[in-house]
Amino acid sequence: MGSLKLRYGCNPHQSEASLSTKGDLPVTVLNGSPGYINFLDALNSWPLVKELKEASGRTAAASFKHVSPAGAALAAPLSEEMRRVCQVGNLELSPAAQAYALARGGDRMSSFGDWAAFSDEVDESAALIIKREVSDGVIAPSYTPEALKILKAKKGGKYNVVQIDPNYEPPVQEVRSVYGIDFEQTRNSRIMTKADLEKVVTANKELPDSVRDDLVLAMITLKYTQSNSVVYAKDGQVIGVGAGQQSRIHCTRLAGDKADIWYLRQHPKALNLPFRQGLSRPEKDNAIDLYLRDDITPTEKKFWLEAFDTEPEALTTEEKARWIATNTGVSLGSDAFFPFRDNIDRAAKSGVKYIVQPGGSVRDEGVIEACDEYGIAMACTGIRLFHH
């Protein structure tokens, strides 16, 4: 039996905490002292990136916060604009570094203090990206010596580095205890693939191959996101996650608002903000967030102005609306059926043209009609992806 004692549980006053398995533990702590929440993030983010790699054949990375992904992505070269959004400058990026930069770049505010996960070996390029960001730890199947040296120096030598056996397969049955009562179920080992996209129920039945990659990315991300959940994705990058909401429309709105912010960050005015010298990356992210909002308070505006050498030219509400209207070809996934068409109406405002969801609502017909009005292609998988 393998076991590992942890500093404490979810909170410091929960003093007794540990990991254990009937066999050998598949994880090895190479640096730091990961806690209970760290390992919850690690052991949810690892299967996400592992399944993304299996489904796509591409290196994958995720940025996890509080047992849900803040972002996930597949490796791809970054455009000049995306390099600036992801704050990677002129660094030479390996596939692992590309994937992680994009995973964080989908929602840099939420990725602050994240847990990073990689489907493949972390090399020096990926480690240099991690070094520059505020992050609590990382899990990967392996690390190059150069990468490990960089990571072990982070946070004064306390950065959490975990290695996992890539061949480890969990037992078929999983058990958890809540309030002293044990729950047992068959583990959700279903890996979503392009084969799950064959049932297209809308008039528009065109799903380009690149879009199928995005829809699979959305489905696998949903599988490891606290429900209810909705995910927006584009070009191999998750650009908006709505997690843990009690109402599906709130998931769709939250994820859509994040997708809008992701796209607004690429507006020329946002890309060319006159930041003062020495501003940290998190400070820049906070300032950009305030710059893009319409409802900031006088106190927030004071903080916002302090981030710049000169007051930047405003991005008006009308300019934002015009810019967002140019975002097209966005994919959306939902972990359960849409009960009302309002989800489709909101999704369309953020450029969604492709949807994947289980289907099965008594109102499916109305949801399909809404998709047809917008020219959206929607596939129904028949597979719910709740995660708790």
- Would residue 167 show up in a list of annotated catalytic residues for this protein? no
CA dihedral 35, 123, 223, 69 (to 10 degrees): 60
CB 304 within 8 A of CB 290: yes
Centroid of chain to Cα 227: 14
Indicate the DSSP class of residue 10: S
Instruction: Tell how strand 181-186 and strand 173-178 pair up.
Output: antiparallel
Q: Which of 53, 65, 223, 320 is catalytic?
A: 65
What CA–CA distance (Å, rounded) separates 49 from 64? Answer: 11
What CA–CA distance (Å, rounded) separates 131 from 229? Answer: 30
Q: Longest Cα pair distance anywhere in the chain, in angstroms?
A: 62
Sign of dihedral through CA atoms 240, 245, 250, 251? positive
- Would residue 31 show up in a list of annotated catalytic residues for this protein? no
What CA–CA distance (Å, rounded) separates 197 from 184? Answer: 30
Look-up of token digits 């996650």:
241
Q: Which of 160, 228, 327, 343 is catalytic?
A: 228
Instruction: Note if the bond before 228 is cis, omega within 30 degrees.
Output: yes
3-state helix, strand, coil in the chain (%, to 5): 40, 20, 40
What CA–CA distance (Å, rounded) separates 130 from 119? Answer: 15
- Would residue 65 show up in a list of annotated catalytic residues for this protein? yes
CB 302 within 8 A of CB 193: no
- Would residue 155 show up in a list of annotated catalytic residues for this protein? no
Residues identified as active-site: 65-66, 228, 388
